[in-house]
Chain A
Amino acid sequence: MYKYDQYDQAIVDARVDEFRDQVRRRLAGQITEDQFKPLRLKNGLYLQLHAYMLRVAIPYGTLNGKQMRMLGHIARKYDRGYGHFTTRQNIQYNWIKLQDAPDILADLATVEMHAIQTSGESIRNLSSDQYAGAAADEIADPRPWAELLRQATTFHPEFSYLPRKFKIAVTAADEDRAAIRLHDIGLKLVRNAAGELGFEVYIGGGMGRTPFVAPLIRPFLPAANLFSYLEAALRVWNRNGRRDNIHKQRIKILVHDLGQEEFTRQVEAEWQHILGNASDVPLVEVERIATHFAPPPFETGLSDAIDRSDPDFALWVDQNVKPHKAPGYAIVNISLKPVGGIPGDVSAEQIDVIADLAERYSFDELRATHAQNIVLPHVRKRDLYELWTALADAGLATPNLDLISDIIACPGLDYCSLANARSIPVAQKIADRFADLGRQRELGELKLKISGCINACGHHHAGHIGILGVDRKGTENYQLLLGGSGAEDASLGKITGPGFNEDGIVDAVERVTDKYLAVRQEGERFLDTYRRVGFEPFKEAIYG
C-alpha cells in the first residue's frame, strides 16, 4: 500500500489548515454561502436534507486496518455510529456538523486520508479494480498509476474550476470491475506488440441524465505520457466545454458534440503543445510508487483445499470468494447487502471488525468496491472458515455477491435533496421478495441498480435491471430499465415503458426474472438472455 512521505503529509496537513480557515471565515460571515459552496464541495462537504454530508476519499478503494478503524471512529464521534460506502469507492457520513468538519479532516490526516476533491467541479478521487494486485487476470497492478494520477491531479492549478466534475478509473484486466467506460476517462493498462506498457484511453463516458459509453480515443498511449495526455484532454474540455447549462457541461457532451474524430484531433494537437512542458512524471517516480504496491510476502507451498463440510460456509465460498493469483490464497468479498439492510451502510462496530479481520487475515489490506461492498484481497484458503465464522458473527457473511439482492442504491429521498423518490425502501423490498437464497442463486448473476433521480448516482443505466425514481404528479414513481452493463461489455439499459409505484416495481422485477427463467438457455446469465431474445418478450411479460 502507498505510504505518505513528508511531502504528501505536508500537502494534506496544509489542506486541513486551509479548510479550517475557510470554515472560520464562513462562520464569521466573511464569505457568503455562495462563495463558500464550491470551497466546501472541493472538500466533499454537501448540504443535504437534514445535515451536512461528508465524503471521504478512499483512493482507488485501497485502505488498511488503521485507516478503516479511523472511519469507524469518525462514525462514532461525529456521526450517528455508521458510515455509507459509495459507488465510487468512497465513504460518506450523513450527519455532519459544519464546525466539526475541520477536526474530522485533521483526524483523517493522521492516518493519511483526506476528503480532497471528492465533490465539486474537480478531478475526483480515482477509482480502480477492487481486485488489483490479487486478480489472476491483470497484466500488472494498476494502482501505482492511480496513485501517480492522485498526486498529479491534486490541486492541479489549471483545472481548479472545470466545467463540471471529472471522474477517472484505471484498470489492468480484461474483466472490467471498475466500469471504466462509464467514466469521464477510463484507462486500461495494456501491453503493445513490442511488450511495452501503455493505456487504452476511453473518454466521454458517464451516467446522469445523458448517459454515454465512452469511445476509445487512443488505443495505445505510452505509459510514460499518461499525465500529459490527460492534461491535454482536460485542457480541451476546460477551454471548450459548455458552461451555460449545468446539464450539458460534462466532457461526454463535448465529445458527443464535436464527434469522436474531431475531439481526438483536438486532444492530440493540444498534447503536442503540452509535451513541451515536461509535466509527465518520470519513470523513476513511477518505480518509487510501485515499490509501495509490491505483492505482500505470500507463503508458498500452501494447499488449495477448502473443507466444505459446513454447507452454509460452502455456499458463501461459492458466492463471495474469488480466485487469487497466488496459490493457496483467495479473494474474499464482504457483502454490505444483508436482507433488510441499507446497501453500503456499515456500523462503526462492523467497521472495527472488518479492520481487525483485514489485519489478521489479509496482510492488513482491504478494498472498497463500486458495488458498495468490501474486499479482503489476500486471504489464505486455510483461514477461510475462521474468517467466515467471524464475519457471520458480525452479520457480515451474506452470501449474495452479484446476485439480485446485491443491489446498488443511491441514498434517494431519505437523504438527498435532489431526489424524486426513495431508493432504499425499494432495494429493501426487492431483497425481501427474493430473500430465498436458493431462488437468488437460481437466477445467477443479476446486477440490479437503483437511482432516486435522473442523476444516476445508483448507476441505474448500467444495471442488468435498472430502476429510476421519477416524480409523477407529485408522487413517487419508478421506471424499469433492462439490459445495461458497467463491465467490459458496457451498455446502457433501455426503459421498458410506463412506470410503477413502489410495490408495482417489485412485481415488475419479478415478472422480468420469471420470464428469464422461462426462456433462458444453458449457461446464460440474465443479461445474455436479454441480449439474445431482445426487449419485446420482457416488455410483454411486464405489461401483458
Chain B
Amino acid sequence: MADDFLRFRDDEPTEEPAVTLDAFLDQTNSSAVRLEAGEDVRLLLPHLHHISLIEVDFPRFRDGRGYSSAQILREAGYKGELRATGDVLVDQMDHMRRCGFDSFAPNAPIDPEVLRATLDRYAFRYQTAADAAVPVWKLRHG
C-alpha cells in the first residue's frame, strides 16, 4: 500500500494483491495485476474494465519503459489505480504523474516537502499527456 501523500485518488485502495501478468492472463478474474518492465502492456487492454489496480515496476529508475506502459493504459481509457513501484525517485514523479500514475510505492522513502515542491513547480506544459494539463499551444490560441 502506498503512503497517503503518495496516493492521488479518493477511492478506497484495492486490498487484493497484484498478480503477475502471466497469472492474470491465465485467470482473468483477478482485479490487480503487476507489470514488469519489458512486458507488453497491450495484453491487458481487453481486460481493463474489471481491473482496479495496475502496478508498473521500475527495476532501475533509468529504465523508462514504464512511462510508455502508463501512457498506453490511460490512452486506452483505463480509469483504475496506476501505481509505480520499485526504484521510483522524487525527481521522476512529476513526469510519472503526467503519464497517468496516481500512486507510488517507492523502494526508498520520499520527502513529502520535496515532492510537493516538485509537483507544483511547472505551471505550464508543452505537450498533451495523460494528465489534465492544457498544453501551451492551446493556451496560446484560446
Residues of A whose CB lies within 8 Å of any CB of B are 5, 7-8, 10-11, 14, 17-18, 21-22, 25, 30-31, 35, 38-39, 121, 151-152, 154-163, 227, 235, 238-239, 243, 273, 276-279, 281-282, 284-285, 288
Does B75 lie within 8 Å of A157, measured CB to CB? no
Does A38 lie within 8 Å of B128, measured CB to CB? no
Does A160 lie within 8 Å of B95, measured CB to CB? yes
Number of interface residues of B (CB under 8 A): 37
Q: Which of B67, B122, B139 contacts A238 (CB 8 A)?
A: B67
Does B139 lie within 8 Å of A158, measured CB to CB? no
Does A17 lie within 8 Å of B67, measured CB to CB? no
Nearest residue (CB) in B for A156 is B127
Contacts of B123 in A (CB 8 A): 10, 14
Contacts of A11 in B (CB 8 A): 122, 124, 126, 136
Query: Known interface pairs A7-B140, A25-B114, A277-B75. Does A160 touch B128 (Cβ–Cβ under 8 Å)?
Result: no
Contacts of B75 in A (CB 8 A): 273, 276-277
Rounded to whole angstroms, the CA-CA distance of A276 and B76 in the bound complex is 10
The reply to whether the CB of B48 lies closer than 8 angstroms to some CB of chain A is no
Does A161 lie within 8 Å of B67, measured CB to CB? yes
Query: In the assembled complex, how far is the CB of residue A7 from the closest CB belonging to chain B, in whole angstroms?
Result: 4
Contacts of B117 in A (CB 8 A): 21
Binds A, one of B9-17, B21-29, B58-66: B58-66
The reply to whether the CB of B44 lies closer than 8 angstroms to some CB of chain A is no
Contacts of A162 in B (CB 8 A): 64
Rounded to whole angstroms, the CA-CA distance of A152 and B138 in the bound complex is 12
Does A14 lie within 8 Å of B68, measured CB to CB? no
Rounded to whole angstroms, the CA-CA distance of A288 and B139 in the bound complex is 13
Residues of B whose CB lies within 8 Å of any CB of A are 61-65, 67-69, 71-72, 75, 89, 91-92, 94-96, 98-99, 111, 114, 117-118, 121-129, 136-137, 139-141
Query: Known interface pairs A35-B61, A273-B75, A277-B75. Does A155 touch B125 (Cβ–Cβ under 8 Å)?
Result: yes
Does B121 lie within 8 Å of A10, measured CB to CB? no
Query: In the assembled complex, how far is the CB of residue A297 from the closest CB belonging to chain B, in whole angstroms?
Result: 26
Nearest residue (CB) in A for B75 is A277
Q: Which of A18, A158, A163, A288 contacts B71 (CB 8 A)?
A: A158
Query: Known interface pairs A159-B64, A281-B137, A285-B140. Does A10 touch B91 (Cβ–Cβ under 8 Å)?
Result: no
14 A-B pairs within 8 Å (CB atoms) are namely: A14-B123, A38-B61, A121-B62, A151-B136, A154-B126, A155-B95, A155-B122, A156-B127, A159-B67, A160-B95, A161-B62, A273-B72, A285-B137, A288-B140
Rounded to whole angstroms, the CA-CA distance of A284 and B141 in the bound complex is 8
Contacts of A21 in B (CB 8 A): 114, 117
Rounded to whole angstroms, the CA-CA distance of A158 and B137 in the bound complex is 19
Query: Known interface pairs A21-B117, A22-B91. Does A157 touch B67 (Cβ–Cβ under 8 Å)?
Result: yes
Does B127 lie within 8 Å of A160, measured CB to CB? no
Nearest residue (CB) in A for B123 is A10
Contacts of B139 in A (CB 8 A): 7
Nearest residue (CB) in B for A160 is B95
Does B129 lie within 8 Å of A161, measured CB to CB? no
Does A277 lie within 8 Å of B124, measured CB to CB? no
Rounded to whole angstroms, the CA-CA distance of A65 and B62 in the bound complex is 38
Nearest residue (CB) in A for B95 is A157
Does B89 lie within 8 Å of A35, measured CB to CB? yes
Does B136 lie within 8 Å of A157, measured CB to CB? no
Q: Which of A18, A22, A158, A227 contacts B99 (CB 8 A)?
A: A158
**Lowest 10 A-B CB distances belong to which pairs?**
A161-B64, A157-B98, A157-B95, A7-B136, A285-B137, A160-B95, A151-B126, A158-B67, A7-B124, A279-B128
Query: Known interface pairs A14-B122, A151-B126. Does A239 touch B95 (Cβ–Cβ under 8 Å)?
Result: no
Query: In the assembled complex, how far is the CB of residue B14 from the closest CB belonging to chain A, in whole angstroms?
Result: 25
Nearest residue (CB) in B for A289 is B137
Rounded to whole angstroms, the CA-CA distance of A408 and B74 in the bound complex is 46
Does B126 lie within 8 Å of A158, measured CB to CB? no
Given A18-B118, A157-B71, A160-B64: 11 more A-B contacts, CB < 8 Å: A7-B124, A7-B136, A14-B122, A17-B121, A152-B127, A157-B95, A157-B98, A238-B67, A238-B68, A285-B137, A288-B141
Contacts of B72 in A (CB 8 A): 273
Rounded to whole angstroms, the CA-CA distance of A8 and B114 in the bound complex is 24
Query: Known interface pairs A155-B122, A281-B137. Does A38 touch B62 (Cβ–Cβ under 8 Å)?
Result: yes
Does A239 lie within 8 Å of B61, measured CB to CB? no
Contacts of B137 in A (CB 8 A): 151, 281-282, 285
Query: Known interface pairs A7-B124, A151-B126. Does A243 touch B63 (Cβ–Cβ under 8 Å)?
Result: yes
Rounded to whole angstroms, the CA-CA distance of A121 and B98 in the bound complex is 19
Rounded to whole angstroms, the CA-CA distance of A17 and B136 in the bound complex is 20
Query: In the assembled complex, how far is the CB of residue B23 from the closest CB belonging to chain A, in whole angstroms?
Result: 22
Rounded to whole angstroms, the CA-CA distance of A21 and B126 in the bound complex is 22
Contacts of B95 in A (CB 8 A): 155, 157-158, 160
Among B63, B122, B137, B140, the most chain A Cβ lie within 10 Å of the Cβ of B137
Does A155 lie within 8 Å of B126, measured CB to CB? yes
Does A161 lie within 8 Å of B124, measured CB to CB? no
Does A10 lie within 8 Å of B141, measured CB to CB? no
Contacts of B68 in A (CB 8 A): 158, 235, 238-239
Does B61 lie within 8 Å of A5, measured CB to CB? no
Does B61 lie within 8 Å of A158, measured CB to CB? no
Contacts of A160 in B (CB 8 A): 64, 67, 92, 95
Query: In the assembled complex, how far is the CB of residue A235 from the closest CB belonging to chain B, in whole angstroms?
Result: 5
Rounded to whole angstroms, the CA-CA distance of A11 and B136 in the bound complex is 10
Q: Which of B61, B69, B71, B122 contacts A161 (CB 8 A)?
A: B61
Nearest residue (CB) in B for A22 is B91
